[in-house]
Chain A
Amino acid sequence: MSGLEGLYQQIILDQAKARHGDGPLDHADAEHHEYNPTCGDELTMRIRLDDSHTRITELAWQGDGCSISMASASTLAELAAGRDVDEVHGLIDGFRAMLRSQGQGEPDEELLGDAIAFHGVSKYVMRVKCAMLGWVALEACLTEASASPTPVE
């Protein structure tokens, strides 16, 4: 079962239970719902931004899904809250690149922090979507926010 333990590292199983960032968020500046029709996993991401829309001040998500999708949303919540939007874009890009690596290379721990635990998921093509669920939702939130005018000039 070494392959399985590479996929489900303890930190992932712990994050799936911890569900950091799980909950509602009123007055969100952006909200996005992601749904995976093959398994029924779904997640709604909500964020609040600072006045200049350059920093994520609050982030919360609600969803239901497999341990990989829930753990990755939990990890993302810890990593992205309070960070600059540009940094978070870099984080998402790096996470996506790692998940597309098919197990090759070494993940960039400086960039990805605890999210490197999901490197093992990249060997399981059918699970990459699970790990990306919350991250794709956050990316869509950022796109939505950047398209809308900042509330205060």
Chain B
Amino acid sequence: MSDLRRDFPAFSQAPDGSTPTAYLDSAATSQRPRQVLDAEREYLEHHLAPVHRGASAAVGRSTTLFEDARATVARFVGAGEREIVWTENATDAINMVALGIADASAGLGGASARSLALEPGDEIVVTEAEHHANLIPWQRLAAKTGARLRAVRVDEHGLWTPDDLAAELSDRTRIVAVAEVSNVTGYLAPVADVVSLAHARGARVVLDACQSVPHRPTDFGAMGVDFAAFSAHKMLGPNGIGVLYGREELLDVLPPARTGGSTITRVTLETAEFLPSPHRFEAGTQPVSQAVALAEAVRYLEAIGMHEVARHESELAARIVEAVTELPGVRIIGPGVGVERAGLVAVSVDGVHAHDVGQFLDEAGIVVRVGHHCAQPLHRALGITASTRASAHVYTTVDEVDRFVDALAGVRRFFGVSDAPSAAVSA
């Protein structure tokens, strides 16, 4: 995969010949290949026009590019074109579902939206490992509707099983919201089990696919999930655009959380009727150049092949896990040696705060993420406030992950923490 690094301007050799930074924070945001940058510029220079507005030929070309981008993304994730809604980002997409269900619960959307409505005593189930973006919108929805939020607890590695989930489900469960890949543990959720367990209870499945769609083959239709969310900037694409997937029959009745121009059929002073999906959700001016660039990112990934992307990243993760397991005083969060996991590995270093670990690595030219990774409940469950995460994408090299492991090996010595396992500094 080393050839494709030339596509990424961020990885070009520094003029002074110094060792380039090892970028191991792709789970936060990925670098973008020239093809994606060029596609956005090409659109802005030659095709910029409002979409779905007016009647000029320029609008027609712009609209075609915009809708072709939707079709490209739909194909990439096993969805129909009407099942792909542009959002600001993945967080926004999850909020659109939660807010729409709140609206349905308040009686908006009429009889057709009633199947989505929650009543007091209904239950929403998440896991303790969720990113705040797949937790707080459900807290708010529960508060608005009188529903109860339940959480599947994680074990000492931050993991949970289908049995753990089954134990939290009941006939009052209406929504199950989980991440396909945890952004901290790298755990691959048993989505097939989640879907069958949830559907057996009549509950709908909302999948946070932020850490899965950019890294492995995805077919939402085959998976049978009801809603899903992901972001362009984690899949070699631009900022400012995310995707809400929903099954067509659900999106057509989900009340739009944001309303305004271009979402409607007929408007009077008192009322508005909304278009079917996806346009009922796309209020106001849309991120057109971003959609075009995202489609280019999809083509870029498809040219490599998502099976190949997943294989590459799994190998890198396994390499990190095997090496870190040998380091005294460094604990891996999530699956250990020999267990399949996504291409991200978070660690906790005994006696050294994650910010100090990150600073040490930064000085060694290694960019990682430190903090709670928007997963405070998970860190609390593990008894730590923060962790250090290295994450890979298709461009990440063996050399980069080896540099990470080598530097990590020197952290405790630098901070004067002994190799005897102890609580040391933060006792």
A interface residues with partner B (beta carbon < 8 Å): 1, 3-4, 7-8, 13, 16-17, 38-41, 64-68, 70, 124, 127, 130
Cβ of B359 under 8 Å from chain A: yes
Cβ of B345 under 8 Å from chain A: no
A-contact bits for B355-390, CB 8 A (1 contact / 0 none): 110011001100000111000100100000110000
Q: Please, which residues of chain A bring their CB within 8 A of the CB of B386?
A: 39-40
Cβ of B354 under 8 Å from chain A: yes
How long is the Cα–Cα vector from A7 to B364 in the complex, in angstroms? 14
How long is the Cα–Cα vector from A70 to B356 in the complex, in angstroms? 12
Which among B359, B363, B379, B425 is the interface contact of A40 at CB below 8 angstroms?
B379
Inter-subunit contact A127/B359 (CB<8 Å): yes
Query: Closest CB-CB distance, A133 to chain B, in whole Å?
Result: 11
Inter-subunit contact A66/B355 (CB<8 Å): yes
Inter-subunit contact B416/A13 (CB<8 Å): yes
Cβ of B353 under 8 Å from chain A: yes
A-B pairs, 9 with minimum CB distance: A40-B385, A66-B353, A66-B355, A4-B363, A67-B356, A66-B356, A39-B371, A40-B386, A39-B355
How long is the Cα–Cα vector from A105 to B234 in the complex, in angstroms? 40
How long is the Cα–Cα vector from A13 to B416 in the complex, in angstroms? 8
Total number of A-B contacts with CB less than 8 angstroms? 57
Kindly name the residue among A3, A39, A64 whose own CB sees the greatest number of chain B CB atoms within 10 A.
A39
B interface residues with partner A (beta carbon < 8 Å): 352-356, 359-360, 363-364, 370-372, 376, 379, 385-386, 414-416, 425-426
Inter-subunit contact A17/B416 (CB<8 Å): yes
Which among A1, A17, A41, A67 is the interface contact of B385 at CB below 8 angstroms?
A41
How long is the Cα–Cα vector from A3 to B425 in the complex, in angstroms? 23
Q: Please, which residues of chain B bring their CB within 8 A of the CB of A127?
A: 355, 359
A1-B363, A13-B415 known; A68 and B371 CB under 8 Å? no
How long is the Cα–Cα vector from A93 to B379 in the complex, in angstroms? 35
Inter-subunit contact A17/B370 (CB<8 Å): no
A13-B416, A67-B415 known; A39 and B354 CB under 8 Å? yes
Query: Closest CB-CB distance, B281 to chain A, in whole Å?
Result: 30
How long is the Cα–Cα vector from A4 to B416 in the complex, in angstroms? 14
How long is the Cα–Cα vector from A127 to B372 in the complex, in angstroms? 16
Inter-subunit contact B385/A39 (CB<8 Å): yes
Inter-subunit contact A7/B371 (CB<8 Å): no
How long is the Cα–Cα vector from A127 to B371 in the complex, in angstroms? 13
Inter-subunit contact B360/A4 (CB<8 Å): yes
Q: Which partner residue on chain A sits nearest B426 by CB separation?
A: A64
Query: Closest CB-CB distance, B31 to chain A, in whole Å?
Result: 20
A16-B425, A39-B370 known; A68 and B360 CB under 8 Å? no
Q: Please, which residues of chain B bring their CB within 8 A of the CB of A39?
A: 353-355, 370-372, 385-386
How long is the Cα–Cα vector from A3 to B416 in the complex, in angstroms? 18
Besides A17-B425, A67-B415, 13 other A-B contacts (C-beta < 8 A): A1-B364, A4-B359, A8-B414, A13-B416, A39-B354, A39-B370, A39-B385, A40-B372, A41-B353, A41-B385, A67-B352, A67-B356, A127-B355
